[in-house]
């Protein structure tokens, strides 16, 4: 029984503890917060105020410059900012689950370079301003759009590198407002070329530096940091636009958001108030008129007043000494920037050293390959040189033996040369004698020719005399016939001349016979002399041929003895055209004695 009571008691105690825990567990609701580069979900307690949720988001993001940002939500056709001193669920937030908020910059700095301390703050501003420019909430000229796009590319991709950033690498990025792209008849490739040209000039800029350069250009745009609201100066006037920014309040025409018609700087405003839909701006100078305008909704007036108070507070805060917190943040940011700069320099130096090492490695590898090739070629050349050396040694030995043989042959050739010189001298003497005989024979032939010509001339004279005698005889006979035909007795005179004429006729015949006989003798002598000349020329030619053959034979013997080989001569007979290796018994003119002739190149 005691054990059952104990168990029952323990069970009741356990149930009571569970019920106590359920009662102590607070009620929560889900919240979805969208930043410019992320989405976060939180589970919030019902009693949380706007400041609790905002601080949770800032701690999660790592943001310390909280005064620029806020949580914005959508209410019907407008938007509102979450109030920090009021519970979240008590405000006009959407009833969805989770409740969606946008973590955005609510107030903008006058000088981004001086006021934005943290890198995360700068990055969130960069993303928001970039989106506003691309969505055309902030007007930007085409030239400034291209320059801003180049800084955005530098912040995203780092330094330009032709090896990685090929044409078309920006095809998926939205960098220019649509109106700018449509305004000019340029293709996407042409715009990319222009952006890349600027992008290549930003080498060396880190991401935070490129984003800061982007914001420095953007803060000079007319619509930067301005919140616009539709108002009317009175219930019957045309619509106007009220602009609230870090400088003050501005009145615009509905169709022009760039140049304000009237401006109220924060330093010149004494008081701002609203009553339902009426909004009143009291200048610091009491002589100036109070400016009143009307808005369509009370919620809009509350939003305008909230923005005016926040911008005015920041305006006054900038003109005071920074708080301890801000000074610490700036000092830490300065140290952080110096550290990052040092790290970038070290990284750049290491990168440069690595690139130089890689280049040196590539050069060493190239040099190694070159040396390997040279070593391989040297080994091949060494092997070839060793083979050549062995071959040259063998050739040197053979050449030495051949040199000894050639020295012996040279001595024999010298003896043969001397013998041939003696023979040549004899041959020259014989040739000289033959030439002398030939000259004498030629002189004799010339004399005979002269005598023959003289005899021919004498024969011609004799023939002419003979012809003249025959003509005289014919005339005498003709006269005699004429006399015999006359009537005068002249017998004695007629009988005596015939005897005289017969004597002359016999003499002429005899003379003709003698001339003919002398002519025949001369012809025989001339023919005999011509035969002798022919025989003499034939002998001279044969002597010349023998001399040439002897010279060729001597040269061949010299060459053959130098090479250690003497081939047998070949004899070719002209008549039979037969070759024989045996020399002829006697050298005749109808046989040709041929010795092989070798060129000096063979030796």
Annotated binding-site members: 83-86, 302
Alpha carbons 186 and 172: distance in angstroms, whole number: 17
Alpha carbons 240 and 256: distance in angstroms, whole number: 10
Identify whether the C-beta of residue 302 lies closer than 8 Å to the C-beta of residue 283. no
Identify whether the C-beta of residue 314 lies closer than 8 Å to the C-beta of residue 266. no
Alpha carbons 331 and 118: distance in angstroms, whole number: 11
Cα 290 to chain center, whole Å?
A: 76
Q: Which two tokens stand for residue 16?
A: 């009571």
CA distances from 74 to 33, 67, 96 (A): 13, 21, 12
End-to-end Cα, the chain, rounded Å: 141
Element containing residue 258 per DSSP (H, E): none
Alpha carbons 391 and 398: distance in angstroms, whole number: 11
Q: Quick check: helix, strand or coil at residue 249?
A: strand
Q: Which two tokens stand for residue 347?
A: 């990284």
Q: Which two tokens stand for residue 171?
A: 């095809």
DSSP state of 259: S
Q: Quick check: helix, strand or coil at residue 591?
A: strand
Identify whether the C-beta of residue 229 lies closer than 8 Å to the C-beta of residue 304. yes
Alpha carbons 573 and 590: distance in angstroms, whole number: 7
Identify whether the C-beta of residue 256 lies closer than 8 Å to the C-beta of residue 291. no
DSSP state of 160: -
CA dihedral 333, 336, 342, 343 (to 10 degrees): -140
Identify the bridge partners of residue 34 per DSSP, sorted by sequence position. 39, 102
Position of tokens 């020719």?
449
Identify whether the C-beta of residue 574 lies closer than 8 Å to the C-beta of residue 592. yes
> Cβ–Cβ contacts within 10 Å for residue 322, how many?
13
Q: Quick check: helix, strand or coil at residue 492?
A: helix
């Amino acid at each position: 029984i005691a054990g059952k009571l104990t168990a029952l008691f323990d069970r009741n105690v356990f149930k009571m503890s569970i019920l106590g825990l359920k009662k102590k567990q607070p009620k929560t609701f889900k919240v979805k917060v969208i930043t410019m580069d992320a989405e976060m979900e939180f589970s919030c307690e019902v009693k949380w105020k706007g400041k609790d949720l905002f601080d949770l988001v800032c701690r999660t993001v790592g943001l310390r410059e909280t005064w620029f940002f806020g949580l914005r939500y959508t209410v019907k056709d407008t938007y509102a900012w979450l109030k920090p001193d009021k519970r979240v669920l008590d405000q006009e937030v959407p009833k969805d689950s989770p409740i969606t908020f946008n973590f955005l910059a609510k107030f903008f700095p006058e000088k981004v370079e001086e006021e934005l301390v943290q890198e995360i703050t700068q990055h969130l501003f960069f993303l928001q301003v970039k989106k506003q420019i691309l969505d055309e909430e902030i007007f930007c000229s085409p030239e400034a759009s291209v320059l801003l796009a180049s800084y955005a590319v530098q912040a995203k991709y780092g330094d330009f590198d032709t090896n990685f950033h090929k044409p078309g690498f920006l095809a998926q990025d939205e960098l220019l407002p649509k109106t700018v792209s449509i305004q000019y008849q340029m293709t996407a490739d042409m715009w990319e070329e222009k952006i890349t040209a600027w992008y290549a000039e930003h080498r060396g800029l880190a991401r935070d530096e490129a984003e800061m350069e982007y914001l420095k250009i953007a803060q000079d745009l007319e619509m930067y940091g301005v919140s616009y609201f539709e108002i009317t100066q009175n219930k019957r006037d045309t619509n106007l636009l009220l602009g609230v920014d870090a400088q003050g309040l501005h009145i615009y025409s509905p169709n022009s958001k760039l140049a304000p018609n009237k401006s109220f700087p924060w330093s010149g405003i004494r008081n701002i108030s609203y009553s339902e839909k009426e909004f009143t701006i009291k200048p610091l100078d009491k002589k100036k008129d109070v400016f009143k305008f009307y808005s369509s909704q009370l919620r809009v007036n509350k939003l305008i007043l909230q923005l005016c108070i926040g911008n005015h507070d920041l305006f006054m805060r900038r003109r005071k000494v920074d708080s301890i917190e801000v000074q610490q943040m700036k000092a830490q940011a300065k140290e952080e920037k110096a550290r990052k700069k040092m790290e970038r320099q070290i990284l750049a130096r290491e990168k440069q050293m690595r690139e130089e090492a890689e280049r040196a490695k590539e050069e060493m590898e190239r040099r190694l390959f070159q040396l390997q090739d040279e070593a391989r070629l040297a080994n091949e050349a060494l092997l070839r040189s060793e083979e050549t050396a062995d071959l040259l040694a063998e050739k040197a030995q053979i050449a030495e033996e051949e040199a000894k043989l050639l020295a012996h042959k040279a001595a024999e050739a010298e003896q043969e040369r001397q013998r041939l010189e003696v023979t040549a001298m004899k041959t020259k003497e014989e040739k000289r004698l033959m030439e002398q005989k030939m000259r004498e024979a030629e002189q004799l032939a010339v004399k005979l020719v002269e005598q023959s010509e003289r005899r021919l001339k004498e024969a011609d004279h004799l023939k002419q005399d003979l012809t003249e005698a025959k003509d005289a005889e014919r005339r005498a006979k003709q006269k005699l016939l004429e006399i015999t035909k006359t009537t005068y007795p002249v017998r004695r005179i007629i009988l005596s001349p015939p005897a005289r004429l017969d004597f002359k006729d016999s003499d002429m015949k005899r003379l003709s016979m003698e001339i003919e006989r002398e002519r025949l003798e001369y012809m025989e002598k001339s023919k005999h002399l011509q035969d002798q000349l022919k025989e003499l020329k034939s002998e001279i030619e044969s002597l010349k041929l023998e001399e040439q053959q002897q010279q060729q034979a001597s040269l061949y013997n010299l060459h053959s003895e130098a090479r250690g080989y003497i081939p047998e001569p070949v004899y070719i007979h002209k008549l039979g055209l037969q070759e024989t290796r045996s020399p002829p018994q006697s050298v005749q003119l109808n046989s040709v004695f041929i010795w092989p002739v070798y060129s000096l190149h063979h030796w």
